[in-house]
Structure 1
Amino acid sequence: MLGEKTVRRNAIILAAAQALCGACGPVAISIGGLAGSWLLLADKSLATLPVTGYNLGVALGALPAAALMRAVGRRYGFMSGALVTSAGGLVAATALFQESFWLFAFALMLIGVGGSFVQQYRFAATDGARRSFQSRAISIVLAGGIFAAVIGPQTVRYTADLFLPVEFAGAFIGLVFLGLAGAAILSFLRIPDSPDEGHPADLLPARPLATVVAQPRFLAGLCCGVGSFAMMSFVMTGAPLAMVGCGLSKDISTLGIQWHVLAMFGPSFFTGRLIQRFGKERIVATGLLLLAASAAVSLSGLAVWQFWTGLVLLGLGWNFGFIGATAIVAETYRPSEKNKTQGLHDFVLFSSVSLASFLSGRTFVAAGWETMNMVVFPVVLVCLVVLVLQARFAPLQPAAD
């Protein structure tokens, strides 16, 4: 087991990397659909396909990212992911200059592959940490997303028009430098490549993956994580299209996403403490209810304040729901099982998120903004039922048992 000082240091380094590499996701999501719409001349229902490419990249990269880190360690694995993000930004800018929609979609998939490494920062923060500190370590890392929430949208605002009449190319050039800076910061990371034998759970053999994922608590955490993240992605991906479609400016749309991402990561400074005080299940349930409240506000009208308030509530709901669900999952596997379990978890999670973002554009064109928000309610209900049943009938069995 690592000392708390070392665990905290690693978490701070990962938070700094989250601020830079994590900023690439908001850039891809906030302007991916708009850039796709700019590239398309006919079928605008495909406009969010590049954003789907991003989420698909996160899903497809989850298992290879876990395998790479198992082979070369967290530090070199995460540095490689940051460099993939830089390469994706360069390809995206090239695609915009060439006006190639499909190359642009592929480029966002590359950025998503880099993002799959970013998603595992939260798990890496728990490496060697005592169980009572794990939720706080996750929160420290995700707190870096507050800076990502500013860096990403501001990168778009100040660079998107640098190469007019080629829109958005400058923003993706900016991602090249964000990825390089993130790789430099990650070079200071120090996480043992092999388990620390001083930790009793590390002496236990790894169980088959099927045994780990069949645990009711793992499945409940996965279900709530998927529900929280997929609904957030589904609504957020369509929000810029809805705002611009209502006659609002691109700046209003970009700032709306900035407030949303700030709400996603801002509570991370205290979410871990709330989990310690009230329990993981209560925090996840609160997050799910906030997602429902977001949909209710968005259904109430089309003014700027309604879009922005809905997006803020959507971000808050994601924070509580996703951090709580991640903490639930993190206590269901042993250190010797972490890479394969985390890889499979994120593959399932981001496959669902990529499907949600793909359906977002199709649903927006076919049925409108109101229908998109109505979808949130049944998903929240299912997740709440699963959470309650697990808490009542399947109490925690520690992974070390």
Structure 2
Amino acid sequence: MLKILLLVSLSVAFATEEDEFFFYGHEYRRTELGDAVDKASMRLLKDLYESSEEKNVITSPLGVLTLLSLYSTGTTGKVKEEIVKYLGLPDYKKMTESYSSLTEKFTSMNPDFLTMANKVCVASRYELADEFTNVATRDYHSEVQALNFTNPSEAARIINEWADQKTRGNIKEPVDKDTFPPETAAALFNIIFFQGHWHVPFEKTDTVDKKFHLSATESVDKPTMHLLQSLFYHEDRELGARMIELPYKEEGFRMVIVLPDAVDGLSAVLDKLAQKGMLEDVFAMSPPGQDVDIDMPKFEVKSKFNLKNVLVKEGLSSIFNQPAEEIVKGQGVEVSEVFQEAFVKVDEEGATAGAFTGVVLVATSLLSQPPPPLPFKVDRPFLYAILHQDIVLFVGTYTH
């Protein structure tokens, strides 16, 4: 029996300065897929935050969700049912149509700011099932390549070169020879890479050290950016948080900052968002009728996770112990391990985010006169997300 290994890696967050600014209204539309991705993303973030000793977390759930959708096309029975339920859409047909359309949309975007790419690799001694190959290439725009996984160093080199090229050098070595045991039969990979440009960059000369509260009793000095601008804003007393939107020059893309009311309120906010998602609050944002006076730390986060236990906790146990019979000809496959490596960097000029996701098959068992500015001081642990319209691309937490 074959097994599958999921890999997810996020790269850098940065952007270039733009002099001209114009403000996009909220002409976004909530969709069934957006809500499903949102809720799955918030649950995954909460689980990773709680299970990680390092509370600075960055993840791109969309890469995992996309590969699970692709994987499901070669499954039947309970395995397929669990994937459909986890992805949060009403049925298998709706799920695959939604992810196929999303893949079509993202793979056709200008690669100067968004790259989404899928790749299916099969071991030289195996063949992919014909229908799975058709679905992968036609519906998920996947490249298909035969690799000699019995030479794992060479297989890793080829995949790393692909990742390096697709992310313009921001993801260089997401895999190594140990990723591919001798019995590896096939691998599925996904890359999502976003480089955005703030509509209004933070002035570097305004960045100064300010206190960032780690807890009610501890604080550290952090290089803190400053911006005074009219932005979309929302506060939710039930959630216990306020949020702002920082738009990118690239139409439809935005970063949302969720600031808990309490210094130690991030965990409680995550608990609530894991239950309802964040889109309800995102779509409730509006101009507050006054400029927003923002202080926000520059930050850089890198995460690496094994996601197997998290996915089992979320109800995806069957993918690890029941075979998918319609991916590789004459051989059942099941998932062996799921892991993710991610990196994001945010500074005065903007943010860029990228993601590498892979699935390895192994032979084994996210105006009138204005009143005084509204202060928004990001001086405590917070949550952030990068979205395109209503689709969460990346989501994370920053705590120290």
Q: Same fold (TM over 0.5)?
A: no
Considering fraction of residues, name the structure with more strand.
2
Which range, TM-score by smaller chain? under 0.3
User: Which one scores higher on RCO, CA 8 angstroms, separation ≥ 6?
Assistant: 2
TM-score (normalizing by structure 2): 0.24
